[in-house]
Structure 1
Amino acid sequence: MAKQEREPHSGRRVALFPLPFQGHLSPMLQLAALLRSRGFAVTVLHTGFNAPDPARHRELAFVPIHETLPEEATSPDAGIVAQLIALNAACEAPFQDALASLLPDVACVVVDGQWYAALGAAALVGVPALALRTDSAATFRSMLAYPRLRDAGYIPIQGKNDERLDEPVPELEPLRVRDLIRVDGCEADALCGFITRVADAMRASASGVVVNTFDAIEASVLGKIETELSQPAFAVGPLHKLSPMAAAEHNFLHSPDRGCLAWLDAHPPRSVLYVSLGSVACIDRGVFDEMAWALAGSGAPFLWVIRPGSVRGGEPPLPFGLDMSRGKIVPWAPQRDVLAHPATGGFWTHCGWNSTLESVCEGVPMLAQPCFADQTVNARYVTHQWGVGLELGEVFDRARVAEAVRRLMVGEECAAMRESARRLKIQAKQCVSATVAMDNLVKYICSL
């Protein structure tokens, strides 16, 4: 029966264009596999920079766009906003040419929501375009509001002592001014300019928005996005659970140490704190040292991912005299397997959206240490909307952080957060069992 329902889509082709970073590649390819399972032919247009491996996805077609990138677009030392602007400028024409080469067989194209130039290029080619937001609906709505918040004086935030930092942001509750998107070291004008381009492209050139989220946690925000854009918004997440790719975790830029799973096997249920700040974020040496001392002093067993390049100034040695006997350190971990492991009782995270969703889906409470961009938005929702985590805050010292670890892992607060996390996990499972959002997206694509 399912096969008969999918036959009308056979032969219709959807093109996808992911942003070339791990946190964006993964959900886009998960969506690609999901669309393929619904009977669409799928072509993935991609940059040569951080290109996906076609051998891992033999059911998909891959077409490079043959871009020429300036150093600013690829250098790890470049600021993320400057990098995104450079990528958009360099990839606009090659993407347009590659998309045009697929005509007349393409029903629509799905581009990463940060590819504002690609949205305009698709319109010039005459191909309907959807934007995939790999961040939360709350983050996307805050981006749509960013220009008017700037005009109202909420942005930029002038230093840590700005008296407005703890003010609630009108119409974006529970966000405070300090929770709005920020990128340290990036001038407010440049950040606002980038966000304005994204918002303007959505309004001018997109036929809809696809969000890697689910109604149980963001239904009201999704409704407000639809009203503001006068476009449909499809909550098709959690993609890592719904996609046929979910059976295997694909790490495009880092190879996981799977030996850590055997180490977890030797620990009691919900006893281990998993620590990872994601695939991009970098921290200062001082923060690294305080993290190390806090973990050692917390009393909790821990699995700590120290990614090469994640500490500014090179690979640091652990502080002298530190007792790490309760912990295990790896350069990268199979995160979804770790979060699903019975021994994992908490997640110290940067609150990137993929990590946040994965933790929600496994019912694991979080210790929030947002580093930049959308992570502050996600951290606020984790701690004050869903009640499944604690925030570390601006003051970062070993004693305070060790106490936060203990509160996350044991005691009354821990029990309350675990119960809230358990309820969200049930809701996520119910979403995975339903197919309404994906059904609606498929119908919409076929109507374009």
Structure 2
Amino acid sequence: MRASNKPDSNSQSVMGIPHFLAIPFPIPGHINPLMQFTQVLAKYGCKITFLSSDENYHKLKSAGGEHGRVLESHSHIKLVSLPDGVDPEDDRKDQAKVISTTINTMRAKLPKLIEDVNALDIDNNISCIIVTKNMGWALEVGHQLGIKGALFWPASATSLASFNSIQRLIDDGTIDSKNGLPIRKQEIQLSSNLPLMEAAAMPWYCLDNAFFFLHMKQEMQNLNLAERWLCNTTFDLEAGAFSTSPKLLPIGPLMANEHNMCSLSQEDITCLEWMDQQPPQSVIYVSFGTMVTMKSNQFKELALGLDLLRRPFLWVVRKDNGIVVNYAYPDEFRGSQGKIVGWAPQKKILSHPAIACFISHCGWNSTMEGVYNGVPFLCWPFCSDQFMNKKYICDVWKVGLAFQRGGNGLILREEIKNKVDQLLDDEEIKGTSLKLMEMIIKNKAQGDGNLSKFINCAKE
């Protein structure tokens, strides 16, 4: 076990202060939001031990790294690590490999780590374990040790409701018990007050991966050991989802509580200076998150589509997240009106007055950050819960449009130009985006109240 941030010798343990052990699945889409959440808990006076994989520990603590500076500023947060068993030469995009190896490696070592952490502070032992998806095994370990558990879900409450409905959908004859694929062509309604969705919008369907479906079927049994399922969302955003389980608790929007911006990747802050030079509501922001990769012919169409716009654009072409991405720009690509960066400080970009719209993969973190800032969307989902989020953005909230694929399966350059032009001329979508932003900001008081209730329960 590696540890940092040694306890301050001048501080004294306070009885009744909850001590959370936070354990994210070792990918940025889980680490970043859980780290953001623990910073909020720290501001409430809670103590947090944040467990990461050895590889991510070194990234978090790297010299001059933004995460390192943020963590050092919180005396209530301590970093520890365990190996996740994934070899350096392994492909971390292979989710089945990472999930299986992490469970097999970390599970055996967790009880000893808990013992060691508790020995360092006998007056304030770990009182609650918080995990993200794929780490439900840690709740089982905690249950055996008599430690409370909670789930911090890094996606929408509706996607969690869908995973929790797997067994019922099997029993109803809606999906196959071996792979989750639909038995017959039909739309799925998870509850009477949730929207009808195509089977392809279910977060396990588009992966076409029997391993992931069966893993999540088992994972839900572990996650049901949690006393609460905490979601970075608001009740009004997904009201129907919260009727599906009393465990679900909206604690968002977390962005409203965050002053420190965190990213595992090195952010190119020169893009903020570039944004400052652009007219209000003029910049097309393009980013597909930390995991998505794009085929070379689709990359070409996107590049040439951005050229056709003849508008300023900020395009994130990922370089530094540990995944090798070799994109070749087409010879005819000019890009003269845009700026391309390896990674961007997204929360600051989306709150900038120059932002016009967001071309997004519709990951939940990006979705929440966009709607919180009243930014209209152009939806380009790839996998998992992204299709479900697109359904909400386009059909439920009505704050965006979706790209349509051509006969060759590609989103063509002309479609990119036409949809951007259509969105930027749509005053109704712009107005609805601002109304949704206002609603989410008003929901903050309820989210803060739910968070306080959760912390108080963890004290007991």
CA contact (8 A) 1:112 1:131 kept: yes
Cα distance in 1, alignment partners of residues 438 and 350 from structure 2:
15
1:141 aligns with 2:161: yes
Q: CA deviation at 1:56?
A: 2.8
Q: CA deviation at 1:97?
A: 2.2
Cα distance in 1, alignment partners of residues 318 and 438 from structure 2:
32
1:99 aligns with 2:121: no
Q: CA deviation at 1:314?
A: 4.5
Q: CA deviation at 1:9?
A: 6.7
1:354 aligns with 2:362: no
Measured against aligned partners, the alpha-carbon deviations of 1:378-399 in whole angstroms (never above 9, x if no partner) come to: 1111111111111114432221
1:33 aligns with 2:39: yes
1:389 to 394, 400, 417: 400
Helix, strand or coil at the partner of 1:20: coil
- Residues 66 and 202 (structure 1 numbering): CA distance in 2 closer, same or farther, change over 3 Å? closer
One-letter code of the match for 1:270? Q
User: Who is 1:16 aligned against?
Assistant: 22
Helix, strand or coil at the partner of 1:283: coil
Q: CA deviation at 1:40?
A: 1.8
CA contact (8 A) 1:157 1:178 kept: no
1:180 aligns with 2:186: no
Q: CA deviation at 1:48?
A: 0.9
Helix, strand or coil at the partner of 1:91: helix
Measured against aligned partners, the alpha-carbon deviations of 1:299-352 in whole angstroms (never above 9, x if no partner) come to: 332111111279998422311112322211111111111101111010000111
User: Who is 2:297 aligned against?
Assistant: 286
One-letter code of the match for 1:26? N
Q: CA deviation at 1:190?
A: 0.9
User: Who is 1:336 aligned against?
Assistant: 347
Cα distance in 2, alignment partners of residues 191 and 19 from structure 1:
14
Cα distance in 2, alignment partners of residues 131 and 312 from structure 1:
28
Helix, strand or coil at the partner of 2:54: coil
TM-score normalised by the chain length of structure 2:
0.85
User: Who is 1:429 aligned against?
Assistant: 441
Helix, strand or coil at the partner of 2:307: helix
Cα distance in 2, alignment partners of residues 12 and 148 from structure 1:
36
Q: CA deviation at 1:41?
A: 1.9
Cα distance in 2, alignment partners of residues 313 and 99 from structure 1:
35
Q: CA deviation at 1:27?
A: 1.7
1:117 aligns with 2:132: no
1:250 aligns with 2:288: no
CA contact (8 A) 1:93 1:121 kept: no
Helix, strand or coil at the partner of 2:249: strand
How do residues 383-422 of structure 1 correspond to structure 2 at under 5 angstroms? 383-395=394-406, 396-409=411-424, 411=425, 414-422=426-434
User: Who is 2:9 aligned against?
Assistant: none
Aligned length: 423
Work out the percentage of aligned pairs sharing the same amino acid. 23
Shifted more, 427-436 versus 115-124: the winner is 427-436
Helix, strand or coil at the partner of 1:173: coil
Cα distance in 1, alignment partners of residues 323 and 133 from structure 2:
29
User: Who is 1:274 aligned against?
Assistant: 285
Helix, strand or coil at the partner of 2:51: strand
Helix, strand or coil at the partner of 2:37: helix
Q: CA deviation at 1:167?
A: 2.8
Cα distance in 2, alignment partners of residues 379 and 66 from structure 1:
36
Cα distance in 1, alignment partners of residues 347 and 205 from structure 2:
27
Cα distance in 2, alignment partners of residues 313 and 118 from structure 1:
31
Q: CA deviation at 1:50?
A: 1.4
Helix, strand or coil at the partner of 1:57: helix
- Residues 265 and 65 (structure 1 numbering): CA distance in 2 closer, same or farther, change over 3 Å? closer
CA contact (8 A) 1:303 1:329 kept: yes
Cα distance in 2, alignment partners of residues 327 and 140 from structure 1:
37
Measured against aligned partners, the alpha-carbon deviations of 1:240-299 in whole angstroms (never above 9, x if no partner) come to: 222xxx2221111x1111111121122221111100001111111111111111111123
1:196 to 217, 221, 229: 217
Helix, strand or coil at the partner of 2:127: strand
CA contact (8 A) 1:288 1:311 kept: no
User: Who is 1:49 aligned against?
Assistant: 55
| Structure 2 unmatched runs, 5+ | 1-12, 62-67
Q: CA deviation at 1:36?
A: 1.7
- Residues 110 and 77 (structure 1 numbering): CA distance in 2 closer, same or farther, change over 3 Å? closer
Measured against aligned partners, the alpha-carbon deviations of 1:366-416 in whole angstroms (never above 9, x if no partner) come to: 11111111111111111111111111144322212221111122x2xx211
- Residues 9 and 284 (structure 1 numbering): CA distance in 2 closer, same or farther, change over 3 Å? farther
CA contact (8 A) 2:355 2:375 kept: yes
Shifted more, 275-284 versus 292-301: the winner is 292-301
CA contact (8 A) 2:127 2:148 kept: yes
Cα distance in 1, alignment partners of residues 28 and 331 from structure 2:
33
User: Who is 1:220 aligned against?
Assistant: 240
Determine which structure has the larger helix proportion and give its number. 1
2:82 to 62, 66, 72: 66
Q: CA deviation at 1:71?
A: 3.0
Cα distance in 1, alignment partners of residues 147 and 195 from structure 2:
36
CA contact (8 A) 2:381 2:387 kept: yes
- Residues 310 and 102 (structure 1 numbering): CA distance in 2 closer, same or farther, change over 3 Å? closer
Cα distance in 2, alignment partners of residues 308 and 15 from structure 1:
31
Q: CA deviation at 1:187?
A: 4.8
- Residues 38 and 10 (structure 1 numbering): CA distance in 2 closer, same or farther, change over 3 Å? farther
CA contact (8 A) 2:232 2:250 kept: yes
